[in-house]
Amino acid sequence: MTDVQDTRPGHDPGPGTPATGAQCPVFDPHSPDLTPERAYELYEELRSSCPVSRGEQHGGYWALSRYDDVRAAAMDHARFSSTGGVYVPAVSEHRFPPIDYDPPQHGAFRKLIAPLTSAAAAKRMEPAIQATVDALVDGFIGAGRAELVEQMAIPLPLDVITQLYGLGPQHAEDIRGYSLEFLENSSGEAGQAVIRRVRDYWIEVFTERRANPGDDFISQLLQMNAELQVTDHELANMMFILTYAGHDSTALGLSNALLYLAEHPETHARLLEDESGIPVAIDEILRFHAPLHWFPRVATEDVTIADQLVRAGERVMLLFGSANRDAAVFPDPDVVVLDRKPNRHLAFGAGIHSCPGMPLAKAEMRIALTTVLRRIPGFHVDGEVERTSPLEGGGRHLGVRRLPVTW
């Protein structure tokens, strides 16, 4: 982290402190003006003038916008704790494993979900992913047009996770339904009511699966928990996060990639000529349009970041969407460079809280994009595209909600 040093309570950071108050722009995730375009403009203003900015809304917080600061804080779970929750303001009195936990509890929860999240697990799922993608394309290819969000970006990750969990189509509808409801009510009593209802939903699934265990992730989870002895309420909260984030984040990333290709059909031949370049292109599109733009931490001790004193107990927001556009790390940051190497983007976070589903998400995106490019080459936008504008999910989610194409 740039210019980070331990400080004592009351320590004066001295000259060079970034501008604050009226001189400094404020990142407010709940602002109705936080369109994708405005978000990236604001990030540039923050990086250049106020890399550690102060917001007094929602209980108060600091926002880190430069890559080095964001990554360093994400890697330093000892001084930047995740126990304060992932929403600003908080949406529930309960914590959601593993994302709201620090070591050692965090490691125990990650061990529980390892069978689902490892690179080996993603590799084993590839034939099933390919079968799902092929079936989805079969469903619209004869029409000569498609709406690629509802017909590809959303149903693919939903089908993958329900297969992993040994669940059926009705469960997929339930998961999508409560995820959308939570997106619309991610703070306040309405959001908490959704969480309580979803918790009861998963406890019912646990009861059924204990009575009828199978060869699926939920059955394995319950068996492994015999040693850890996490409560069903905690497991249910974890399933809420795994299913909500596990499909919607992938859908956001895939929809961003599909939109880029639909707007740039001239790149199709290039990627098909050398399909090994598709994973590199995916990483670049994830950098350019990170599906999730920020996550919060809580400082556990006084620390100075870029000459700004952050006191113990204060909330710190890590602006991953801004870090991924930092020109100090990414030359021409506001341009998609399909063969960008190296590409140390933070779309999946960093440190112990990096996205556990990254291998599976990347496999889904790679297989989906490769198949779509092969089977409907030259597809392009034909109609009105609808983006998440302003950013959804408490000002964090960036994706596409409608993408009509033809070929």
Distance between CA atoms of residues 68 and 65, nearest Å: 9
Q: What is the CATH number of the domain that holds 134?
A: 1.10.630.10
Question: What total number of domains does the chain contain?
Answer: 1
Name all contacts of 268-276 with Cβ < 8 Å and 24+ positions apart: 268/373, 268/377, 268/378, 268/379, 269/377, 270/338, 271/338, 271/369, 271/373, 272/373, 272/374, 272/377, 275/370
Distance between CA atoms of residues 265 and 269, nearest Å: 8
The range of the structural domain enclosing residue 27 comes to: 5-406
Question: Which helix (H) or strand (E) is 221 found in, with range?
Answer: helix 217-228
Q: What does the pLDDT read at residue 14?
A: 36
Q: What does the pLDDT read at residue 116?
A: 81
Q: What does the pLDDT read at residue 5?
A: 35
Main-chain dihedrals φ then ψ at residue 36, nearest 5 degrees: -55, -45
Main-chain dihedrals φ then ψ at residue 52, nearest 5 degrees: -125, 95
Q: Strands 315-318 and 61-64: what pairing?
A: parallel
Q: What does the pLDDT read at residue 10?
A: 32
pLDDT tens for the 407 residues of the chain, in order: 443 333 323 333 333 344 444 588 999 999 999 999 999 999 999 999 999 999 999 999 999 999 999 999 999 999 999 999 998 888 877 789 999 999 999 999 998 898 888 899 999 999 999 999 999 999 999 999 999 999 999 999 999 999 999 999 999 999 999 999 988 876 667 888 899 999 999 999 999 999 999 999 999 999 988 878 889 999 999 999 999 988 999 999 999 999 999 999 999 999 999 999 999 999 999 999 999 999 999 999 999 999 999 999 999 999 999 999 999 999 999 999 999 999 999 999 999 999 999 999 999 999 999 999 999 999 999 999 999 999 998 899 999 999 999 99
Q: What does the pLDDT read at residue 246?
A: 87
Q: What does the pLDDT read at residue 15?
A: 33
Distance between CA atoms of residues 161 and 310, nearest Å: 40
